[in-house]
């Protein structure tokens, strides 16, 4: 089984966005990254797509969902600051092929968990720029390997 952790695409400057941050959309670069996710994840089996309810996260995985004829399932456990809720969601996904789209504070938290608890080997300096992904394999209820995929677009 495979879980893909995706950091949302580029969404401009938080400080310049006049509305609620949860409504901040992808910018042009982020839209290219979202479309590029289709190719980046070509060949990766996906049964579910879960996303932070933030618009920029949903927009990041919507083209992938459309291409795979799947729905995007909003999950508050993937919101900024979710912490332990995000870890619990990741742990519950060991038995399925899923994409989890989240924020820049959650990705390192999940990577640290994978390394510390399941002993997953990561690159010496893991990274998670906007629009990037980590493909994480699970075997027998535990995560076993992870590989970084840079953003497209």
Are 104 and 82 a contacting pair, CB within 8 Å?
no
10 Å CB burial of residue 81 (0-12, 13-18, 19+) is exposed
Q: How confident is the model at residue 16, as a pLDDT?
A: 83
DSSP state at residue 152: P
pLDDT in tens, 26-81: 999 999 999 999 999 999 999 999 999 999 999 999 999 999 999 999 999 999 99
- 78-88 mean pLDDT: 95
Q: The whole model's pTM is what?
A: 0.95
Superfamily of segment(s) 2-121: Phosphoglycerate mutase-like (3.40.50.1240)
Residue 100 structure tokens: 């989890």
């Amino acid at each position: 089984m495979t879980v893909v952790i995706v950091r949302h695409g580029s969404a401009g400057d938080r400080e310049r966005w006049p509305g609620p941050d949860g409504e901040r959309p992808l910018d042009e670069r982020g839209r290219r990254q979202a479309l590029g996710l289709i190719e980046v994840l070509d060949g990766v089996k996906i049964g579910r797509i879960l996303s932070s309810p933030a618009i920029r996260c949903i927009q990041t995985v919507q083209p992938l969902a459309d291409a795979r004829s799947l729905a995007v399932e909003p999950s508050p456990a993937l919101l900024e600051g979710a912490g332990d809720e995000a870890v619990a969601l990741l742990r519950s996904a060991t038995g399925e092929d899923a994409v989890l789209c989240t924020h820049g504070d959650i990705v390192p938290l999940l990577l640290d968990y994978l390394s510390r608890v399941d002993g997953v080997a990561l690159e010496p300096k893991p990274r998670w720029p906007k629009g990037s992904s980590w493909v994480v394999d699970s075997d027998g209820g535990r995560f076993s390997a992870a590989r970084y995929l840079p953003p497209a677009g």
